Each structure stands twice: as C-alpha cells, then as structure tokens.
Structure 1
Amino acid sequence: MRAIKKVKKFIERSPNSTEGITFAKLILALESENEFPVIELYQLNSDEFDLAIELLKDWRIDCFYVGKAKAFDSATRAKNLS
C-alpha cells in the first residue's frame, strides 16, 4: 500500500490524535507548497516518522509524474498547432 493511502487511513482512524493532526498538516503543507515545521516529524514515534518519510518520497515522485504529464500535454498541443 502506498504511503499516501496509509496516511489517509491513519487520519480517518485518528483525526484528532496528535499524529493524525501532524499527518493532516503535512499533507496540506505539501499540497499548498507551504512550510511545515520539521520538528513535528521528530515528535512522531519511529513507525509514524518512517511513514512520514515514505509520504514525502511518494509525494516527490508523484509531483515528478504530474510535471512530466503536463510537459507531454504541452508538447502534444504544440505539435498539433504546427
């Protein structure tokens, strides 16, 4: 299961827990490209910290693919114009 799905399930199970709030804030910061206090990750237990790192890795990969898809779309449109 991908990290984003694991985090989603964690937030749904424990939305008011400190960890659930931290995960929610992390996702919102990533989506809005806002700052996130790294110290909050260090306050998670080891398994949750590892999950947060997995989430960051998955998010970065997904952003790459979104960027690649947008570039492909632009290239296709440009080709169709010529």
Structure 2
Amino acid sequence: MNILKELENRLKKDSNDPAGKIFHRLVGALCCDGEFKLTEIYELNYDDFELSLEIIKHWRLDRYTKTKERLQKLVSVSTN
C-alpha cells in the first residue's frame, strides 16, 4: 500500500489513539520543519514503528515534490 494512503488511514482510524497523535506530531514536524522527539516512535507497536520509519524515509526522498503538500493536508484534516 502507498505509504501516504496507509498514513491517511491510520490518522483517520481513531482520533484518541496515542499512536495517531504520535504520527500527527511526526508529520507536523516533518512538514513544518518543527521538532519531534524520536524517542516517541519507540512507544509505537512494531507495525506502527515500521510505518513511522517509512514515513521518514519517503519524506526524505520526496520532500521537494507534491508529497509534502499532501502530508500537510493530512495533518490539517486530522486536526479538524
């Protein structure tokens, strides 16, 4: 599955889920050049931990493409 689609599904899953909040902070930090404590991803279960690493990897590869804009939209949609 596309990493962004998987992230989108994960963020929509449960707004009170602690893992979802970690993903939200991670994506917000990546998109807005903010700070994020990497130790937070160690609190995630294995599948979510792997997803967070994939998000970071894909963000690094795609940071100058439309992907960054789509991630920003995901963060803003999940807070509304």
C-alpha deviation, 1:9, in angstroms: 0.7
User: Partner residue of 2:18?
Assistant: 18
Q: Structure 1, residues 4-63: CA drift from partner, whole Å, max 9, x if none?
A: 221111110112100010001111010001110011100001110000000111111111
2: CA distance between counterparts of 1:29 and 1:49?
17
User: Partner residue of 2:41?
Assistant: 41
Gaps of 5+ in 2: 66-80
User: Partner residue of 2:54?
Assistant: 54
Q: Structure 1, residues 53-77: CA drift from partner, whole Å, max 9, x if none?
A: 001111111115x3xxxxxxxxxxx
Aligned residues: 65
Backbone CA RMSD of aligned residues = 1.1
Point out 4+ residue stretches in structure 1 off by more than 4 angstroms.
Answer: none
Counterpart of 1:38, as a letter, is L
User: Partner residue of 1:7?
Assistant: 7
1: CA distance between counterparts of 2:29 and 2:50?
18
Q: TM-score, normalised by structure 2?
A: 0.75
Q: TM-score, normalised by structure 1?
A: 0.73
- The structure number with the bigger radius of gyration is 1
